[in-house]
Structure 1
Amino acid sequence: MRSLKVGDYMSRHPAVLTATMPIEEAVDKLLKADLTGGPVVDLNKKVVGFLSEQDCLAMMLEGTYHKEQSATVADCMSAEVVTVNADTAILDLAQQFGSNRPKVYPVVDYQGKLVGVISRTHVLKAINLHLQDSYANH
């Protein structure tokens, strides 16, 4: 199971967000990608934040209530981001998932540039496929 790596199961086409993007555009991208959150990158594709569904909900509800101008991703995102590398073992990442942990992790290269995302669903599929292969070979 240690041979299963994040890079083999991550999405290489995540919803990529920028800090200056309107929150409505970010929500649209997340919904189209069917993700619960997405990385926020700078012009060099370095991860500078993370925007979750919860962040979006709170801001959109507040905006609806106050009928104010649209917020940007920078207004809502978390600047503290937990990233993983494509070489990380799926098993190690699975053990990090907990109730207060992210459901989606940006995957970065060794320069900190975004190369994809991996979600709990991706990890579950990887482990399930491995277990199915193990059962089929016995």
Structure 2
Amino acid sequence: MISLEVCDYMNVHPVKLLETMAVAEAVECLLRTKQTGGPVVDAKGRVVGFLSEQDCLQRMIESSYYREHVCRVHEIMNAPALTVKPYTSVLELAQMLLKERPRVYPVIDDEGSLVGTINRAAVLRAIDEQLQSGYRKIAM
């Protein structure tokens, strides 16, 4: 049986947004890394919130209108962020995804530091691999 822990399917190079960043700068990071949202970390690398594209839309419109940075990430981020641990079961996370809003979950260690992110596509991939593994065993 294949592993079904978050650590085996998470993105180990997630975007890291700082709570003091201008929202426009955070948007540039999201666009550059092609991620739909990212964890917000403090100076010690601990996750303090999450910022999604949706969170940024209104502020970017205002920035465009006023031609200046209207606010900082900490003003509009979702806090506290919904997080998971690397040893969390992917199936447990799948159940959480059915109930909660985030499409992306920060993965944190036991001290609260960011170690990765995991999204719905990675969860689907993990479950699909498990199913495919089961099909192969039945066919043998």
* Higher mean C-alpha deviation, range 104-113 or range 53-62: 53-62
After superposition, the C-alpha distances for 1:4-39 in whole angstroms (9 at most, x for unaligned) are: 000110001000000111222211221233222110
1:89 aligns with 89
- Structure 2 residue 50 is the aligned partner of structure 1 residue 72: no
Aligned residue type for 2:9: Y
Percent identity of equivalent pairs:
50
Kindly indicate whether the alpha-carbon contact (under 8 Å) linking 1:38 and 1:52 is maintained by their aligned counterparts in 2: yes
1:10 aligns with 10
Task: State the alpha-carbon separation in 2 of the partners of residues 121 and 131 from structure 1.
Answer: 15
Task: State the alpha-carbon separation in 1 of the partners of residues 44 and 67 from structure 2.
Answer: 34
* Higher mean C-alpha deviation, range 123-132 or range 9-18: 123-132
Aligned residue type for 2:89: A
Q: Give the deviation of 1:66 after TM superposition.
A: 3.7
Kindly indicate whether the alpha-carbon contact (under 8 Å) linking 2:39 and 2:51 is maintained by their aligned counterparts in 1: yes
**Could you tell me the TM-score, scaled by structure 1's length?**
0.90
1:33 aligns with 33
Task: State the alpha-carbon separation in 1 of the partners of residues 134 and 33 from structure 2.
Answer: 31
Q: Give the deviation of 1:3 after TM superposition.
A: 4.2
Matches within 5 A, 1:86-125: 86-98=86-98, 100-125=100-125
1:49 aligns with 49
**Could you tell me the TM-score, scaled by structure 2's length?**
0.89
Q: SS of the residue aligned with 2:21?
A: coil
Kindly indicate whether the alpha-carbon contact (under 8 Å) linking 2:10 and 2:122 is maintained by their aligned counterparts in 1: yes
RMSD: 1.9
Task: State the alpha-carbon separation in 1 of the partners of residues 33 and 122 from structure 2.
Answer: 13
Q: Can you give the 5+ residue segments of structure 2 that lack an aligned partner in the other structure?
A: none
Kindly indicate whether the alpha-carbon contact (under 8 Å) linking 1:2 and 1:90 is maintained by their aligned counterparts in 2: no
Task: State the alpha-carbon separation in 2 of the partners of residues 137 and 34 from structure 1.
Answer: 37
Task: State the alpha-carbon separation in 2 of the partners of residues 133 and 19 from structure 1.
Answer: 42
Alignment length, in residue pairs?
138
Q: Give the deviation of 1:72 after TM superposition.
A: 1.9
